[in-house]
Structure 1
Amino acid sequence: MIDIQKLKEIMANNLKKQLNRKGISQTMMARDLNIPEMTVSNWVKGKTYPRPDKIQLMADYFGITRTQLTEEAPSNLTPLAPQTVPIPVLGTIACGEPILAEENVTEYIYESPDQLPSGNLFYLKAKGTSMEPTIPDGSYVLVREQPEVENGAIAAVLVNGDTEATLKRIKRQGDMVILMPDNPNYSPFIITRDNPARIIGQAIQFTQKL
């Protein structure tokens, strides 16, 4: 006899594991897959079980097989060391070039794919102290390429005629968008027609080299 509750628990555990592996939230996955957030929440809590088409949709989203969501993983297996992938570090942006064009890359940082969120990723090196204490000067900030971020999130933003990428917190007041530094010693930057700026991604995390 099939234990439906056990299947729900296995699905819930595997789904949480994949969300953590990719570094994304339930809300982000729901938005990316166009699934109601409450539906995803019920799957993660083990309250309901997804339909086969939704299981396949999530498997494709995570880049895994369906069984990695539906079956209990053996506990006696030793995981192999994953291959690393190169994440580009952007420097000065060449006018008219795609953000991740080779001309814009100064170096690469190699990361384990198991520790990375989904999407097109790049690093920016924080310059200056405008985002301290949140982001220290010289930190390497991992950014996921996307044209919009939620209010209050830290974004990578192109300024100075799309030639310089900076990190600032996005604040919206009506139709006005403000680039806010976390350091109170710096002034906000209000995006206007005379002071244009363009969001190119959301800051995910930062690291520092010794």
Structure 2
Amino acid sequence: MVEKQFNEIFSKNLVHFLKINQMTQAELAERLGVSTATTSNWCKGLKSPRMDKVDKMCKIFGCLRSDLMEDKGFLRGKKQSKGFLVNVLGRVAAGIPIEAITDIVDQEEISEDLAKTGEFFGLRIQGNSMEPDIHNGDTVIVKKQDDAETNEIVIALINGNDGVCKRLKKYAESIALVSINPDYEPMYFNQEEIDNTPVRIIGKVVELRRKL
């Protein structure tokens, strides 16, 4: 593919994703750390970005490289998916914002209706503590939030370790993070331990994805 043709395809795809994300060229430029003239040239098809900038745009838009770099027919009347892509993380850790984590192992599509209700990410489950409901290697779709109702399955950070997937139990003066697998003992925390350990909920599991 000649450079001019690639630039034209990239520009059409970029304008498409700016439009559906309701983002201006200036806003994209600020998030990428480039000038507005640079994003303008991309949108006009005059130039194309380096691959590191393409990867940053994929994270911003929740899309794949191919969605930006290949002719997907977005502007030719082809039926478009109403889904939204979210990054699936291999791990989450304390002190690192979700959007800054680079351990991205996959992407999953969520519905437009679900996407409208908040911010989401995927997490690849490790271990068997939530079997038989959630298996090692499964992906859970997580809605970002700092609290949940009792009996809901959450992702929590404990003492700065990687996020754990557990069922939340709330009591008058304490909480418990409970594994579904009976081989694992529940983890109980009083309010002082919640504050000082610390224990922090970062999201609620809303969907389970299993690749057969």
Give the conservation status (yes or no) of the 8 Å contact 2:94–2:157: no
RMSD of the alignment, in Å?
2.5
The whole-number CA distance in structure 2 between the counterparts of 1:122 and 1:195 is 25
Give the conservation status (yes or no) of the 8 Å contact 2:84–2:115: no
1:42 is aligned to none
Letter in 1 for 2:157: L
In structure 2, the CA distance between the partners of 1:130 and 1:116, relative to structure 1 (3 Å rule), is: same
| TM-score w.r.t. length of structure 2 | 0.54
User: For structure 1, which segment, 149-158 or 97-106, has the greater mean C-alpha deviation from structure 2 after superposition?
Assistant: 97-106
Q: CA deviation at 1:180?
A: 0.5
* 1:208 partnered with 2:210: yes
Residues 135-172 of structure 1, C-alpha deviations (whole Å, 9 max, x = no match): 122110011001110011100111241x4011100111
In structure 2, the CA distance between the partners of 1:180 and 1:95, relative to structure 1 (3 Å rule), is: closer
In structure 2, the CA distance between the partners of 1:92 and 1:139, relative to structure 1 (3 Å rule), is: closer
Q: CA deviation at 1:102?
A: 4.0
Q: CA deviation at 1:185?
A: 0.9
Q: CA deviation at 1:100?
A: 2.5
Letter in 1 for 2:100: A
Give the conservation status (yes or no) of the 8 Å contact 1:121–1:144: yes
In structure 2, the CA distance between the partners of 1:95 and 1:158, relative to structure 1 (3 Å rule), is: closer
In structure 2, the CA distance between the partners of 1:106 and 1:159, relative to structure 1 (3 Å rule), is: farther
The whole-number CA distance in structure 2 between the counterparts of 1:83 and 1:173 is 40
Letter in 2 for 1:103: T
The aligned length equals: 131
The whole-number CA distance in structure 1 between the counterparts of 2:132 and 2:107 is 25
Where 2:134 maps in the other structure, the secondary structure is coil
The whole-number CA distance in structure 2 between the counterparts of 1:100 and 1:201 is 14
Q: CA deviation at 1:106?
A: 3.5
Q: Structure 1 unaligned segments of length 5 or more: list them.
A: 1-79
In structure 2, the CA distance between the partners of 1:104 and 1:158, relative to structure 1 (3 Å rule), is: farther
Q: CA deviation at 1:81?
A: 4.1
User: For structure 1, which segment, 91-100 or 117-126, has the greater mean C-alpha deviation from structure 2 after superposition?
Assistant: 91-100
1:173 is aligned to 171
Runs of 4+ aligned structure 1 residues displaced above 4 Å come to 114-117
In structure 2, the CA distance between the partners of 1:199 and 1:95, relative to structure 1 (3 Å rule), is: closer
In structure 2, the CA distance between the partners of 1:183 and 1:94, relative to structure 1 (3 Å rule), is: closer
Where 1:100 maps in the other structure, the secondary structure is helix
Q: Structure 2 unaligned segments of length 5 or more: list them.
A: 1-78
Q: CA deviation at 1:177?
A: 0.9
The whole-number CA distance in structure 1 between the counterparts of 2:132 and 2:166 is 13
1:197 is aligned to 199
Letter in 2 for 1:118: T
Where 2:102 maps in the other structure, the secondary structure is helix
